[in-house]
Structure 1
């Protein structure tokens, strides 16, 4: 793990944007410090899994001459914009400085070829550690310990740790990065208020009926005021219960609205392995469940961390892989041999399970009777954009949410900040709501209206002729009336 071969680290470009710090950093300024570089991109589930590791390390070495820096080398076009990276820094509550790696120049200078990659520099600016992938806590910690000891003995260690002032601030909205929503037959809206670590239930007028969760991040079962979640995403109604993909707890939770009680159905609170046969729900570790869909005692789980879709049987309490081998790709066919890529949105209609396969910018479906997967739109890991037209030519950019009717699929095309429509009758794709060059919302028959645009919406649901949209980075729920093409805000109160 520890590489004593020496190579000099290239200096950071002086004109690049820095986030979460009140001043730009340079390797010359960091001389005398151990520097840990995290090359990441905010769409990447493996990068998300690495952030808690870095947070633990930052806490362990706080006050010592060790500096952690995120190098954001964006995959998608949207991920190359500074304001979007700033939202990601806020969303994942990153405490260390982040440099915006324009056109991946730093990535290339350091010879990086995978997300995430950790590089450690010694106090003299030499590269002494390089490793891609998750789960590096012990290796990074051992490397830091050796460097601190060696350079203290040599006298090349800084006497004091460099003081870096974080500049990111949390929002003060009712919602904080709402991830997913689900609407019951009676019109109750369940919202995952992700960064407030809670679930909100309102009616269609916005009147809040339930607030579920204390707001403190954690994993605790109990009543609505004491239960704890950690950045939950997917929610779905199942009769009088709500099922929740409690994403960063790596668990599936159930909310009993009759008894005002939250219980854990699956997951142990620790991230599960890449490959797993499943097992009894509460004893089986799982990995970053991102969305859920429910039908007659079966809960389908978009297991983003495994690039699979799993099943949880409410009666047997067993959770097992259902679709995808775990290899990240877009390959159709029988569910056992198909490849998925970070499935992040589910919607069940009749005998079809539609899903947003985010890393291949695809919308796909599972025929639940035949147990086969078919791609509707999407081609590959690096084929994305914003193109309408025939489904064979259309392009999306990291969609996270879908809902469907008999002939229509509505898509939260997240990194295009748009709501797109797939017309299954005509095999055409068109944009229903999308940003114009002037940052306005472009609506059918009213392309010049000047209202708040969507900002990386993560989910969309249809109810009574209206689309309810989790407008994630605007911290809002938006309502689009299909009868008159108006876009409003759901006024939660």
Structure 2
């Protein structure tokens, strides 16, 4: 925690968009309360990691602390107010959010990094800040002292702030909520119903077979109806043994689903987030993980796109050992040896059997990671730069993507969920030539053929035979594409409903 000389906090703009409140808030109105300004952007995994800390502090000091999210967008897509509203719903954010158009507030507070938490005392002065994550105890201690000091001085305002939340104004009652990933097998679809904290298994035409999880966030093993997840994402299937592996992202855990016995077990992670970004390894259940986002099984090895520490991990399924496979932990793009390589929030993973292919979201690039002896890392396409994003079909380093979250290998090509461009692109895995094939670049829900279709932040892909299945995240939908004709259809799941709306049949 960095303390600063008491400086009068710059006032917040009243004419910018505000979310999770029915009116703009001013520091003058909040005088007598401790205020935390959370400078964030919704693509950033570190910003997402700060949200549980803020929720803890908000609940502990709800009568004297106000948290305001200041959304200062990195990507062009994140500047759209509706997309920020969707992120608020996705991450269950319950404090006001100011849309910081043009980085005005960011600049007035001299912020340099996402996330940054700025602490303002009850008299309206900035007294300290902290950048990054993992600072709950320091913030808790500082806020407690501030409240006691101002209580003694009679300058504290003990009154809970009443807010009009987005989830109250427009409740999300869709059957699926922000599905992050989808996996197609010979007999069924596995859907990570991330926003509902559960998994849905259906036939390929949408008939529901199983719903796994209670629908409320938690880390509980047991039967399909007892188990709990927290925003699950990627999956990998061992069809022979009828085992489904799940990246239980916000539980920082890997789960194993026994499809035959209909049980769920945790196989890696402690349930607590690891803050160790240095390469390391250990026994699965004794090793803390950090936001595992996607999975790829290669024989008895489970490879993990570990978004939190910007690394690729490997779990040996026969021994239960887990550890870093590639990546130093530095958020960057470095090709070469596995031990010297660097990634930037890897969020999708697939394989052709010789290499792993990774959707490296924060640098908007597709990376390849070798398997076997003398393995190397290379960049297939994309600039490899943190701010080198856009929407451009080309080859190799000239390609421009925007925060790609999903990748799937099939027949020599990589299908890429170019999430923030609302497109599906096809990349030649060897040459790096990239071509847009689905979506016109505008967020929407529109079936049809090729580039006349529309998606909204698609994030998960799975190919089965002549079909491509897409987790169309912000549309709360699963889309199916005929690869021969590029015709897109939105699937329906009549046996699925939101957990708090009805009982599934």
Q: Scaled by the length of structure 1, what TM-score is found?
A: 0.95
2:498 corresponds to which residue? none
1:399 to 398, 404, 415: 404
Q: Specify the SS of the correspondent of 1:306.
A: coil
Aligned to 2:28: 28
Taking the aligned partners of 1:437 and 1:113, their CA distance within structure 2 comes to 31
The 3-state SS of whatever aligns with 2:130 is: strand
Deviation at 1:482, TM superposition (A): 2.1
Q: Are 2:229 and 1:225 aligned?
A: no
Contact 1:183–1:237 (Cα < 8 Å) also in 2:
no
> CA 1:438/1:365 → structure 2, altered by over 3 Å: closer, same or farther?
closer
1:163-178 equivalent positions in 2, closer than 5 A? 163-168=162-167, 169-178=170-179
- The residue that corresponds to 2:486 in the other structure is 485
Kindly report which structure 2 residues correspond to 1:118-137, keeping only aligned pairs within 5 A, or say none. 118-137=117-136
Contact conserved, 2:466 with 2:484, CA < 8 A, in 1?
A: yes
Match of 2:499 in 1: none
Moved more, 299-308 or 459-468: 459-468
Shift in CA distance, 133/121, structure 1 to aligned 2, threshold 3 Å:
same
Q: 1:143, CA displacement in angstroms?
A: 1.6
| Alignment gaps of 5+ in structure 2 | 495-505
Counterpart CA distance in 2 for 1:97 and 1:441 is: 32
2:227 matched to 1:251? Answer: no
Q: Counterparts in 2 of 1:95-106, with a 5 A limit?
A: 95-106=94-105
Q: Could you tell me whether the CA contact under 8 Å between 1:454 and 1:474 is conserved in 2? A: yes
For residues 104 and 296 of structure 1, do their structure 2 counterparts lie closer, same or farther at Cα, with a shift above 3 Å needed?
same
Deviations 1:366-420 (A, max 9, x none): 1213321110112211100111122331100110100112421110011111101
Which portions of structure 1, spanning 4 or more consecutive aligned residues, are displaced by more than 4 angstroms?
Answer: 424-427, 436-444
- CA distance in 2 between counterparts of 1:65 and 1:183 reads 49
* Corresponding position of 1:269: 271
Matches within 5 A, 1:329-340: 329-340=332-343
Q: Contact 2:64/2:160 (CA < 8 Å) preserved in 1? A: yes
Change (3 A) 1:419 1:303: same
The Cα offsets for residues 10-33 of structure 1, whole Å up to 9 and x where unpaired, read as 111121100111111111111111
- Confirm or deny: 8 A CA contact 1:433 1:442 kept in the other structure: no
Once the two structures are superposed, the pairs formed by residues 188-199 of structure 1 within 5 Å of their partners are 188-199=188-199
CA distance in 2, matches of 1:382, 1:438: 22
Number of aligned residue pairs: 487
- Alpha-carbon deviation of 1:154? 2.5
Superposition deviation, residue 158 in structure 1? 2.2
Q: Aligned runs of 1:329-368 on 2, under 5 Å?
A: 329-368=332-371
Deviation sequence 1:343-365 (CA, Å, 0-9, x none):
11011212121110111101011
SS of the residue corresponding to residue 176 of structure 2 reads coil
Alignment of 1:5-20 (within 5 A): 5-20=5-20
Cα gap change, 1:275/1:17 in structure 2, threshold over 3 Å: closer, same or farther? same
SS in 1 for 2:199: strand
- Which residue number corresponds to residue 212 of structure 1? 212
CA 1:305–1:439 in 2, change beyond 3 Å: closer, same or farther? closer
Which residue in 2 is equivalent to 1:410? 415
Are the equivalent residues in 2 in contact too, given 1:436–1:442 (CA < 8 A)?
no
Give yes or no for contact 1:433–1:443 (8 Å, CA) kept in 2.
no
2:433 paired residue number: 428
8 Å CA contact 1:33, 1:161 repeated in 2 = no
